[in-house]
Amino acid sequence: MWKFILRRFLVMIPQLFLLSIIVFMMAKAMPGDALSGQEINPRANPAELERIREDLGLNDPWYQQYIRWASNAVQGDFGISYTHKTPVMDVIEDRLWNTVFLALVTLIFTYMLAIPLGILSGRYNDTWVDKTVTGYSYIGFGTPIFIFALIMLFVFGFALDWFPSGGSVDSKVDEGTFAYVVSKINHLILPALSTALIATTSTIQYLRNEIIDNKIKDFVRTARSKGVPESNVYSRHILRNSFLPIAAFLGYEITGLIGGAVIIETIFSYPGLGQLFLSSVSLRDFSVVTAIVMMTGFATLLGTLLSDIILSAVDPRIRIE
Amino acid sequence: MEMKVESGKIIQTKDVSPSGMKIIWQEIKKDKLAMGSLIILVAILVFVYGASFFMDAKEIAKVDFLSIYMEPSSDYWLGTDYGGRDVFGQLIIGTRNSFTISLFITLFTAIIGLSLGLLAGYFGGATDNVIMRVIDFVIALPQLMFIVVVVTIVPVFNVYVFILIMTMFLWTGKARLIRSKALSERELDYIHASQTLGTPHWKIILFQLLPNVSSLIIVNFILNLAGNIGLESSLTFLGFGLPESTPSLGTLISYARNPDVLENKWWIWVPASLMILVLMLSINFVGQALKRAADARQRRG
Amino acid sequence: MKIKSYSKVLSALAISSLLLAACSNDTEKSSTKEKKGKDVEQVDTSLFPTKTTNQGEPIDGGHLTYGLVSDTPFEGILNKVFYQGDPDNQVITFFDEDLLDTDENYVFTNDGAASYEISDDNKTVTLTIKDNVNWQDGKPVTGADLEYAYLVLGSKDYKGVRYDEQMALIEGMEEYHAGKADSISGIKVDGKKITFTFKKANPSVTTGLWTYPLHKEYLSDVPIAKLESSDKIRKNPIGYGPFKVKKIVQGEAVEFEAFEGYHRGAPKLDSVTLKVVNPSVAVKSLENGDIDVASISADQFDQAKALDNVEILGKVDLAYTYIGFKFGHYDEKKAENVMDNPKFEDKRLRQAMAYAINNEEVGEKMYKGLRFPANSVITPNFKYNNKDVKPYEYDPEKAKKLLDEAGYVDTNKDGLREDPDGKEFKINFASMSGGDIAEPLTNYYIQQWQEVGLDVQMLDGRLHEFNSFYDLLKKDNEEVDIYQAAWGVASDPDPSGLWSRSAAFNYTRWVNDKNDELLAKGISEEAFDDQYRIDTYNEWQELIHEEVPIIPTLFRYTTTGVNKRVSGYDYLAERQYKWFNVGVTEEAK
């Protein structure tokens, strides 16, 4: 087992190396750089821009820039963001926590919805309960997230005014107080719920199918024939077996949520990592872009490793030798 | 973006019997919902592909200032958008484009996912390890950035390029699914038996393993087909969708990012949203029937 | 996704001109016009009020919420020397300001924190900072503070883009910038007085001089290279404006409190909250009173107009949209534009293309009557705008006639004109993405050109993203024949930065001797005489109109929504950020 994990970590080195080269080359393939945005400022002095480019090393060939970047990155220094004028890690840190909180709350909502609905739907399959839940999950599946989020925002953020309509915290409350925590959570509910209501549908379907499949498996039949009460059959046998694969996907889910929150962050003006990534790409703030890609890439690789470990623990057929 | 509805069931039967198609048909006939869905689906597709053949795409894309944001009327069945362009015409061509895109993405991802998944699952060991690490790597790639970059640097951004980029990312889920299924299949007796008999690997994969994962593939294919229909709408929302000269359902829906359209101009985005929903549901219901057909224990009657 | 400062140029609102109002039967528009009693021949730039109408007495302890409309968080570089995006600039205006105020023509006045004098030979400018002007920590603002700003801007450690050509005209500035001197010989400081000596007289000094000081005592212990990332700029900035920064929620919001020692008197509001609002919900937030002030984009204008609790203020923006022809390339070695592409050398072809498009209709229909045809490349909020120059009016017959004359005729009867040599004549049109209207607008122009028989195609069949677009222009990509873009112009009317023979931003690469001559005259010593300068620029605009190296297409209005409980807010450029005057007459809902 330990050997396996160690080996996977060793494999990550070339993977990350390759990732960094690809990202770097792609970044350089895009027209323009961090200073292009200034070129429509009629007061900006083109010669001055050229001088700054030279100073920042933006005119060097990409591999030279890459080597410079890589040797610093290995020491944990991802450089300075040209747009934010501050070390990249500082920029990312602010946003990272916002996104992590959002992902966690979304995850909680997702499972709070998926588990009861999935169980109901799977246990009573082909009844009206199942049909309702399945109907919901189809509609959820077919609804673009941004339409749904906008409608949620207009209904609950504006028409009913139950929740704040943007930002991550009320600027009037002081950090470290209880009110601050409440405000943070209050700002999270609407974006998290909007994502969860749509994202949960696939988990519901997955769980439902697992339960239906497990229901007719031999070990369940045996338990039933032994006279185990129906509720125990579910809690002891079917559910346990059905939850495991879902638990194993947790690793993927979290990384997926962290990387995929751009739309929600944009709609709810929530300053998170996805939004930072997109704006950095548009502004050609490449030091931020590369850092975010490397971080999420690393997190994803860790997530897959975690999922594999859980899966192998759960399912003896997928062995780790 | 990909649906995770997967079938985790174990099929004990050795292969789909020669009368597989007949069973499927039987199953659909028995299921009124699936039958109805199939009829609706075929009707929509025939109409859309037929009608778009006779439509002048250039005429529809023509900007007309005299008819901006018109409500539905006898001239414009579904009104017009902010360029004065007929929404109904865009809906027809958009449905055709979106369905075609979805079909090809699903097809290509299925081919890649199936080949790699089967290889990894059947051989296991080092082969599996390499393929899985490649998959990990692709998943770790920043999808959004790739799309942004490709959209910026390719000389033409059209349906084909879009299909290509999406395929690049979406095959991994399928490969993983097929691989885990194949991994568990290869432990079963019939594979072992063939191996001891000295049957070549390619024969085992093609004639024994493939048929046994085929039901999974078909179901997954159908569900993916449904899932990929609305794929480009989020990208359009972020500003990296197809050009407006290639209308898609996603383009129409994305107009709703303007709150004025969302609140007051339903005719632009609601029909396209409903179209996605109807297509997805009908494909799905047909898919469910197929799934039952493939799994004897769930068959009705 | 639209980004930062340049998206402002893309998304700002504009409003119809008199020309539109005259031919539209919208009574509301015409009545506004009459009320203002404007000269009929003048472009009506007063379709919107610029001031809040609320005359009530501001309440004590008032609080205002300002909506910073942006789809990304602000970066938080809270200093005019260093900031990048416009969102940061909006934050800065609450707690800091320039030393000199400007009038409606963007010319410096003596009403602000300092007064100024120009010597008889026009080469020396002296600023005297008023006695009661103090930093928010109580220290006086001195000449040394302004000198320090120049020392930072000219330093080699400064990585921003604000060291401009005008600064280089100060004596000794170039030597300092090159690292040959430790100080700037042309800047002399004496307590609250500071004197700038220029190498040559330049009338742009009265509009373009840098007058934003840096708190030297507070900042000088931070190395210049580290200033932009220091907490003294980002977290605890000290200005001398009407409000003090109390608290910053990074990227999202800022809390301000009144600065009682403000040199124009204590502000009428007790506190201000600034928060970032996504463009798609700006109007909604105004409606339910979450925010009191927010700019309004074109696509939400109709919604905003319908609100009861909000009034809309508007003004002509310092920007113009244009269609440019490519005439050549930029020779980097000589730092000069070279006209070596003969494709559009016939003036009649360019004029015909201008006559073929209907900008009146674009402004009226596409921008809901909120942009208007541009007559020139000097925006109408300058007195230098030549009112006698009229925009090219839509006249397809005239366009066809001009093309026939120039020899562009359809020889092979395919409905499209060939060039004078009878060869196929194709024009590639590059246009930028950003904003909803970009794509239909581009297609519309193409349609109109096709109607007069010109084979215009969208370059690569699609719009180009901002960076790619300017990359094509900058590198003079040969595929680009014509392009549509916009310039935001500075408060200084001198167009040399975009039009001179040596300007790298002169993307059309159009050069013309008369043009060189007039541009030089516009910033010569004689041009300190205003009438001389007006005459010069009038002549220059006539030249541009006649030669059409670009077709100016649209001017625009920028609009903002203000809650009716707000008083004293003035949207005109020179007063837009005078926050000390703003009050509220009742509590928020």
Regarding whether A131 and A28 lie in a shared domain, the answer is: no
How many interface pairs between A and B have CB atoms less than 8 angstroms apart?
A: 133
Regarding whether A225 and A123 lie in a shared domain, the answer is: yes
For residues C583 and C59, the answer to whether their CB atoms sit within 8 Å is yes
Regarding whether C490 and C402 lie in a shared domain, the answer is: yes
Q: Do A262 and B144 touch (CB under 8 A)?
A: yes
DSSP C255-282: EEEE-TT-TT---SEEEEEEEEE-GGGH
Chains that touch A (3 or more CB pairs under 8 A): B, C
Compute how many other C-beta atoms are within 10 angstroms of the C-beta atom of residue C67. 26
The span from the CA of B233 to the CA of B85, in Å, is 19
Q: Work out the minimum CA distance from B67 to partner chain C, whole angstroms.
A: 9
Query: Domain with C162 in it: what CATH number?
Result: 3.90.76.10
Residue C281 has what pLDDT?
Answer: 86
A 4-23 → B contacts, CB under 8 A: 11, 15, 18-19, 22-23
For residues C436 and B256, the answer to whether their CB atoms sit within 8 Å is no
Q: Which residues pair with C457 in a beta bridge?
A: C428
Q: Work out the minimum CA distance from A32 to partner chain C, whole angstroms.
A: 5
The span from the CA of A96 to the CA of C250, in Å, is 13
DSSP A101-132: HHHHHHHHHHHHHHHHHHHHHHHTTTSHHHHH
Query: Domain with C339 in it: what CATH number?
Result: 3.10.105.10
Regarding whether A103 and A44 lie in a shared domain, the answer is: no
Q: Do C361 and B258 touch (CB under 8 A)?
A: no
Regarding whether A231 and A136 lie in a shared domain, the answer is: yes
- Name chain C contacts of B58, Cβ cutoff 8 Å: none
Asked whether residue A283 is domain-assigned, the answer is yes
Number of domains chain A contains: 2
Asked whether residue B299 is domain-assigned, the answer is no
Asked whether residue C175 is domain-assigned, the answer is yes
Instruction: Give the pair of three-digit tokens for residue B242.
Output: 């197809």
Q: Do C470 and A278 touch (CB under 8 A)?
A: no
* CA–centroid distance for B247 within its chain: 18
Of C75, C290, C497, the CB nearest to A42: C497
Residue A238, domain extent: 96-314
Secondary structure class of C126 (helix, strand, coil) = strand
Mutate to test the interface with B, among A137, A146, A246 (most CBs of B within 10 A): A146
Surface-to-core class of residue A287, CB atoms within 10 Å of its CB (0-12 exposed, 13-18 middle, 19+ buried): buried
C 107-166 → A contacts, CB under 8 A: 156, 159, 161-165
Query: Domain with A225 in it: what CATH number?
Result: 1.10.3720.10
The span from the CA of C512 to the CA of C547, in Å, is 10
Q: Do A141 and B3 touch (CB under 8 A)?
A: yes
Q: Do A278 and B144 touch (CB under 8 A)?
A: yes
- Name chain C contacts of A154, Cβ cutoff 8 Å: 284
- Name chain C contacts of A55, Cβ cutoff 8 Å: 156, 159
A 17-46 → C contacts, CB under 8 A: 30-32, 35-46
Asked whether residue B250 is domain-assigned, the answer is yes
Instruction: Give the pair of three-digit tokens for residue A10.
Output: 């060793």
Instruction: Render pLDDT for B230-289 as a digit per residue (tens, 0 to 9).
Output: 777 777 777 777 877 788 888 888 888 788 888 888 888 889 888 988 888 888 888 878
Asked whether residue B1 is domain-assigned, the answer is no
Rounded to 10 deg, the angle between the A88-123 and A273-282 helix axes is 130
Residue C299, domain extent: 47-93+241-309+564-584
The span from the CA of B223 to the CA of A202, in Å, is 11
DSSP structural state of residue A236: I
Asked whether residue A91 is domain-assigned, the answer is no
How many interface pairs between B and C have CB atoms less than 8 angstroms apart?
A: 69
Number of domains chain B contains: 1
Q: Is residue A213 less than 8 Å (CB to CB) from chain B?
A: yes
Regarding whether A46 and A109 lie in a shared domain, the answer is: no
Secondary structure class of C477 (helix, strand, coil) = coil
Of A44, A166, A271, the CB nearest to C281: A166
Asked whether residue B301 is domain-assigned, the answer is no
Instruction: Give the pair of three-digit tokens for residue B58.
Output: 């250039």
Asked whether residue C484 is domain-assigned, the answer is yes
SS (H, E, C) A166-191: CCCCCCCCCCCCHHHHHHHHHHHHHH
DSSP C442-458: HHHHHHHHHHTT-EEEE
Asked whether residue A79 is domain-assigned, the answer is no
DSSP chain B: --------PPP-SSS--TTHHHHHHHHHHH-HHHHHHHHHHHHHHHHHHHHHHHS-HHHHT---GGGTTPPP-SSSTT-B-TTS-BHHHHHHHHHHHHHHHHHHHHHHHHHHHHHHHHHHHHH-HHHHHHHHHHHHHHHHS-HHHHHHHHHHHSS---HHHHHHHHHHHHHHHHHHHHHHHHHHHHTSHHHHHHHHTT--HHHHIIIIIHHHHHHHHHHHHHHHHHHGGGHHHHHHHHT-S--TTS--HHHHHHGGGSHHHHHH-HHHHHHHHHHHHHHHHHHHHHHHHHHHHH-GGG---
Residue A41 has what pLDDT?
Answer: 64
Asked whether residue A321 is domain-assigned, the answer is no
Of B83, B238, B259, the CB nearest to C303: B259
Mutate to test the interface with C, among A96, A171, A183, A287 (most CBs of C within 10 A): A171
Asked whether residue B77 is domain-assigned, the answer is yes
The span from the CA of B260 to the CA of B254, in Å, is 12
Q: Which residue in A19, A3, A2, A103 sits closest to A301, CA to CA? A: A19
Compute how many other C-beta atoms are within 10 angstroms of the C-beta atom of residue A132. 13
Residues 6+ away with beta carbon under 8 Å from C342: none
Asked whether residue C99 is domain-assigned, the answer is no
Q: Do C164 and A80 touch (CB under 8 A)?
A: no
Q: Percentages helix, strand, coil for chain A, rounded to the nearest 5?
A: 75, 0, 25
- Name chain B contacts of A11, Cβ cutoff 8 Å: 133
Q: Do C462 and B157 touch (CB under 8 A)?
A: yes
DSSP structural state of residue A228: -
- Name chain A contacts of B250, Cβ cutoff 8 Å: 144
Residue of C nearest to B65 (CA): C365
C 348-407 → A contacts, CB under 8 A: none
- Name chain C contacts of A39, Cβ cutoff 8 Å: 470, 474, 505
Q: Which residue in A90, A271, A279 sits closest to C252, CA to CA? A: A271
Residues 6+ away with beta carbon under 8 Å from C225: C157, C159
Give me the mean pLDDT over the B25-49 stretch: 86
Residue C236 has what pLDDT?
Answer: 93
Mutate to test the interface with A, among C72, C82, C153, C473 (most CBs of A within 10 A): C72
B 172-231 → C contacts, CB under 8 A: none
DSSP structural state of residue C581: G
Q: Work out the minimum CA distance from C372 to partner chain A, whole angstroms.
A: 22
Regarding whether C268 and C191 lie in a shared domain, the answer is: no
Number of domains chain C contains: 3
Instruction: Render pLDDT for C436-446 as a digit per residue (tens, 0 to 9).
Output: 788 889 989 99
SS (H, E, C) C344-408: HCCHHHHHHHHHCCCHHHHHHHHCCCCEEECCCCCCCCCCCCCCCCCCCCCCHHHHHHHHHHHCC
Q: Which residues of chain A have pLDDT under 70?
A: 38-44, 244-245, 247-249, 251-252, 255-256, 258-260, 314-321
| Cα angle A102-A103-A106, degrees, rounded to a multiple of 5 | 85
For residues A223 and A237, the answer to whether their CB atoms sit within 8 Å is yes
C 261-290 → B contacts, CB under 8 A: 280-281, 283-284
Asked whether residue A12 is domain-assigned, the answer is yes
Q: Do C1 and B65 touch (CB under 8 A)?
A: no
The span from the CA of B180 to the CA of A103, in Å, is 28
Regarding whether A111 and A62 lie in a shared domain, the answer is: no
Q: How many residues does chain C have?
A: 589
Q: What is the dihedral of CA C369, C375, C376, C381, to 10 degrees?
A: -60
Q: Which residue in C586, C581, C565, C558 sits closest to C94, CA to CA? A: C581
Residue tagged 């960076």 (tokens): C467
Of B61, B65, B257, the CB nearest to C361: B65
Residue tagged 């997805």 (tokens): B280
* Residue where one domain finishes, among candidates A40, A74, A108: A74
End-to-end CA distance of chain C: 33
Residue of B nearest to C283 (CA): B259
Query: Domain with B199 in it: what CATH number?
Result: 1.10.3720.10
Of A83, A167, A266, the CB nearest to C75: A83
For residues C126 and C117, the answer to whether their CB atoms sit within 8 Å is yes
* CA–centroid distance for A250 within its chain: 11
Residue C24 has what pLDDT?
Answer: 30
Q: Work out the minimum CA distance from B112 to partner chain A, whole angstroms.
A: 20
Asked if residue B14 has pLDDT above 50, the reply is: no
Surface-to-core class of residue A115, CB atoms within 10 Å of its CB (0-12 exposed, 13-18 middle, 19+ buried): middle
Q: Do A209 and B136 touch (CB under 8 A)?
A: no
Residues 6+ away with beta carbon under 8 Å from A316: none
Regarding whether A180 and A100 lie in a shared domain, the answer is: yes
- Name chain A contacts of C4, Cβ cutoff 8 Å: 37, 279, 283
Residue C145 has what pLDDT?
Answer: 95
Q: Looking at the predicted complex, does its ipTM rise above 0.85?
A: no
- Name chain B contacts of C281, Cβ cutoff 8 Å: 259
Residue tagged 């009016």 (tokens): C393
Regarding whether A100 and A44 lie in a shared domain, the answer is: no
Regarding whether A47 and A100 lie in a shared domain, the answer is: no
Regarding whether C35 and C52 lie in a shared domain, the answer is: no
- Name chain B contacts of C466, Cβ cutoff 8 Å: none
Q: How far is CA B107 from CA B175, B220, B228, C204, C580, in A?
A: 13, 11, 11, 65, 64
Asked if residue B298 has pLDDT above 70, the reply is: no
* Residue where one domain finishes, among candidates C226, C258, C289: C226
Q: Do A277 and B142 touch (CB under 8 A)?
A: yes
Q: Do C252 and A39 touch (CB under 8 A)?
A: no
For residues C355 and C394, the answer to whether their CB atoms sit within 8 Å is yes
Instruction: Render pLDDT for C400-457 as a digit per residue (tens, 0 to 9).
Output: 999 999 999 988 888 899 999 888 999 999 998 877 788 889 989 999 999 999 999 9
Q: Work out the minimum CA distance from A255 to partner chain C, whole angstroms.
A: 22
Of C162, C249, C278, the CB nearest to A169: C249
Regarding whether A141 and A64 lie in a shared domain, the answer is: no
Asked whether residue B36 is domain-assigned, the answer is yes
* CA–centroid distance for B109 within its chain: 9
C247-267 in b/e form (b: 16+ CB < 10 A) is bbbbbbbbbbbbbebbbbeeb
Q: Which residue in C93, C67, C56 sits closest to C268, CA to CA? A: C56
Q: Do A26 and B233 touch (CB under 8 A)?
A: no
Asked whether residue A85 is domain-assigned, the answer is no
DSSP structural state of residue C248: E
Q: Which residue in A77, A258, A97 sits closest to C250, CA to CA? A: A97
Asked whether residue B170 is domain-assigned, the answer is yes
Q: Which residues of chain C have pLDDT under 70?
A: 1-46, 573-575
